[in-house]
Structure 1
Amino acid sequence: MHLKIQSFLLFLCMGLSTCTFAQESTKTTLLAVANDNRLLQYYENGENKGPSIEILQAILKEAQFEAKVEFMPWARAFSTAKDNPNTLILSMIKTPERDLDFHWLIKVSSLTRVFISLASKPENYVENIQQAKQKLTAVVLGSASYNELISQGFSEQKNLYIVPDGELVVSLLKNGRIDLVYDDPRNVRNILDQLGKTDLAISYKKISPEDERSSYIAINKATDREIVKRLQQAARKFEKTAEYARLLIK
């Protein structure tokens, strides 16, 4: 009889522990930050939309967490995610430097980075970094593109025009204020179309493997390990689904 009572108490404790953790999981609200990008994630008519949002929602549901999504300029989104535990960031290009501050949960897109000019201004077309250094290139502050170009010897004093968001970058190109943008051609084309410039052609060199990048949903590395673990497990499970294959931007 004594053994049966012990077994029952052990079972009861395990059950209570599981229930308590489930309740804590439900109560845990994370913050997810992102910049507006119509190809990946954006806010429209009171709703968060885009394939990256859907991927985020799927892994949160599987992990039994909730997240408040906030859109903001890239530099602020990055610093917010970098400085605050329990904070996710959407569609961030993976780089070795960022490994120090983030866990990479799941890939959301394959993209490229090339120098893009207006077809109507052939004098601005470039094939390589050295040629681009002779032009004025617009990039988003704190972005992977910004960091890449700085590491290659570009500077705001010589050949960089720094702005807070991608739409302004493309607007500057459209208006002839700068010579080049360093971005994904699909993103530039999409923004031009949104701006009503569907007939404005762009030029860029043939894309090669060295131009390819990947972006991810990542989370601040100081986040509680159990939260990270559950999100990672949820991400691995979702990666095996047909829905993920549909949402992944290639």
Structure 2
Amino acid sequence: MLHHMVVFFFAVVSILCFTPSAGLADDCGLRIITELSHPSTIQDDGRLSGFGVEVVEALKKEIGCGATIEVMPWARGYRHLLNHSDVMLFSTARTKERENQFYWIGPIACYKWVFYGLKGVRDKVKTLEDAKNVSGIGVYRNDARAQFLKGKGFTNLEVMDSQEANFKKLLRGRVELVATSNIGVPGFLSKDLELRKSAVPILTFHSVKLYLAISKSTDKEKVLRWQKAFKTLMDRGTIRKIQEKWIESCPE
């Protein structure tokens, strides 16, 4: 009897050690990071949703990947992407400044950068150059819009760690504009009646595409695995269905 129990014990240990389970699935060798940013990543009672999350989950399923999506502030996630190998960050704007810093998978969305402000600012800002003369523009740390505007010679940028803080400053008159996006701003407006009543689009100043970004020091074979999976899902129409559920799909 004892002999049979010992054999059974080692059989169980062997199964636990060598058989993949939900908790021990292939993690694809990547740390997957995102920020809370409507409508790409939304958190409700601990559950993640949004177009970026759905794209990543579809890719994970295609690859057979069990890695968990981590949520953290954008600036921290961006530092991980810059300074460590085997990191994926989404959703990330692909810009000229960033082009050679990362590997790219996508696009997963197309969108526009927009200045939002109070109604009285409309007459002051008709062009991008006009925006250089306002008292302050709310941007957030390591965001592509902040990098773009800084590269255009803007010296009136007010850098914060979140867009929520920027919109609060807008309502208090501490900045005149907030650099946001046409797909991201509805999430802020829906949560704040005062903001919804007072803030309006002032100027669309750039068009960009969102991607999954992978750190440059990551092994290329890992990157190719994800790029191949993305192409497969594009050919199947899966990516377009996700886009159309949440946002406008990217033009062909």
The alignment's TM-score, normalised by the length of structure 2, stands at 0.80
Q: Which runs of 5+ in 2 are unaligned?
A: 1-17
Matched with 1:17 is none
Is the alpha carbon distance of 1:114 and 1:131 closer, same or farther for their aligned partners in structure 2, counting shifts above 3 Å? Answer: same
- Quote the offset at 1:125 in angstroms: 4.2
Write the mapping of 1:22-41 to structure 2, written as runs, cut at 5 A.
26-41=26-41
| Partner residue of 1:202 out of 200, 203, 219 | 200
How much has 1:64 moved relative to structure 2?
1.9
Aligned partner of 1:103 in structure 2 is 103
Question: For 2:229, which of 211, 230, 234 is the aligned residue?
Answer: 234
Q: State the aligned residue count.
A: 223
Which residue of 2 is the match for residue 16 of structure 1? none
- Change in 2 beyond 3 A, CA 1:97/1:47: same
| 2:198 partner SS | coil
1:42 and 1:32 map into 2 onto residues whose CA distance is 16
How is 1:12-27 mapped onto 2 (pairs within 5 angstroms)?
26-27=26-27
Give 2:46's aligned residue: 46
2:189 counterpart (188, 192, 201): 192
Across the aligned residues of Structure 1 and Structure 2, the Cα RMSD in angstroms comes to 2.4
Alignment partner, residue 80 of structure 1: 80
What CA deviation, in whole Å up to 9, does each residue of 1:83-141 have, x standing for no partner?
1211111011001332222111122211111322112x246641112211111101011
Whether 1:219 aligns to 2:214 is yes
Alignment of 1:120-159 (within 5 A): 121-122=120-121, 125-135=124-134, 136-155=136-155, 159=156
Tell me how far apart the structure 1 counterparts of residues 161 and 67 of structure 2 sit (CA, whole Å): 25
- Aligned mates of 2:242, 2:168 — CA distance in 1: 28
Query: Is 1:163–2:140 an aligned residue pair?
Result: no
Deviation digits for residues 129-177 of structure 1, max 9, x if unmatched? Answer: 221111110101111111111111112xxx1111011222222222322
In structure 1, the residue matched to 2:12 is none
Identity across matched positions, percent: 24
C-alpha distance after superposition, 1:168-191 (max 9, x if no partner): 222222232210112214422320
The DSSP-based 3-state class of the residue aligned with 2:109 is: strand
Give the match's secondary structure for 1:99. Answer: coil
Partner amino acid, structure 1, of 2:79: S
Query: Structure 1: how far apart are the matches of 2:153 and 2:35?
Result: 26
Measure the CA separation in 1 of the matches of 2:74 and 2:151. Answer: 19
Contact 2:28 2:66 in 1 (8 A): yes
* In 2, Cα distance between equivalents of 1:147 and 1:45: 33
The match for 2:8 is: none
Partner of 1:243: 238
Query: Is contact 2:26-2:67 (8 Å) kept?
Result: no
Q: Is the 8 A contact 2:27 2:65 kept in 1?
A: yes
Offset of 1:27 from its aligned partner? 4.9
Q: Secondary structure at the match of 2:98?
A: helix
1:42 positional shift = 2.4
2:212 alignment partner AA: I
**2:5 alignment partner in structure 1:** none
Moved more, 42-51 or 137-146: 42-51
What is the rounded CA distance, in whole Å, between the counterparts of 2:173 and 2:110 in structure 1? 29
Please tell me the residue identity of whatever aligns with 1:127.
K
Separation in 1, partners of 2:140, 2:113: 13
The answer to whether the 8 A contact 1:42-1:49 is kept is: yes
CA apart distance, 1:25:
7.8
Amino acid at match of 1:152: K
Contact kept? 1:170, 1:188, Cα under 8 Å:
no
Corresponding residue for 2:4?
none
| 2:115 partner amino acid | F
2:189 equivalent to 1:181: no
